[in-house]
Amino acid sequence: MSTHPHRTATRVASILVAITIALVAAASAAHLTVNARDHETASLVPCTTTTLPVTVSGSPSGGNYTAVQISTIPPACNNLPVRVVVYGAVGAQLATGTGTTGTTGTATITTTSYNGTAVVGVAILIDTWGVHTTWTPPSALPSISCIALNNGRQEWKKHTCTVTITGTTLYPNSTPPGGDMMNFTFNVTTDGAHWRVTINFASAGFPWNPMWAGQYNNDTQKPGGYVCPSPITSLELEDNVAFWGSNVNIGQLGAPTWWSGQTICP
């Protein structure tokens, strides 16, 4: 007896459907028997979502730095790799560096050389995750300190001395010889007979070391035997005629041609 082709196709289709349903049911049953303890869920997240402060690190050379400092790093970010990109105006890359976060909450990352005053911000990756940052530029002032002197111009340890910088003016690209020039005023308070101040231009915040220093009024003098370093990483001055302060000018390259005051260094 012959078999009708349509009926044969129907039977084949029915068999395939039955096999498919069986396979799905078997797979479902197998899935249901898997113990949940055999599965683990992984989730990748950054070690912090807080904003980290960044600033320059180390003493500048001609206004250039070779490191940045990252602060308030949380413990969750300890001992992780760091990559930094220092950038300037319109996102121009100024320097790059790599390092690790360490365990102290503060990390100093060595970079290629960059000018501290040209920086707009620093981009940071910690363990390949981007972290928000705030940038604090280097201070426009050097650090300054003073000691009281007796009438013999020796340190008078029983007496006190304080000094503050009260005003500054920056003259960019002073011509000639070019470079920046700064004028600043400092005031001294002491109960000694005289005073001596030390101006530290190599302090972490100041952007450059001067090559020249001068004053309009001859109210300060260099201590006896003092020789100006070149560049001027620090400068020592004493009162000359019992003035309790001074107005000092410094130049990144040298004295401008219009200068008509007293030269202190070199």
**Is residue 94 over pLDDT 60?**
yes
Strand spans (E) along the chain = 52-56, 64-70, 81-87, 93-100, 107-115, 121-126, 129-131, 133-136, 143-149, 161-171, 181-190, 194-200, 212-215, 220-221, 234-239, 245-251, 262-265
The pLDDT of residue 31 is 40
Domain ranges of the chain: 52-136, 143-265
Q: Please write the tens of the pLDDT for every residue from 5-43.
A: 444 444 444 433 343 333 333 333 434 344 444 444 444
Instruction: Say whether pTM exceeds 0.85.
Output: no
Q: Is the pLDDT of residue 129 over 80?
A: yes
Distance between CA atoms of residues 167 and 236, nearest Å:
19
Pair of tokens at residue 143: 């650090």
**pLDDT tens-place string over residues 65-85:** 899 999 999 999 999 999 999
Chain segment 130-149, per-residue pLDDT in tens: 999 999 887 678 889 999 99
Q: Are 180 and 208 in contact (CB under 8 A)?
A: yes
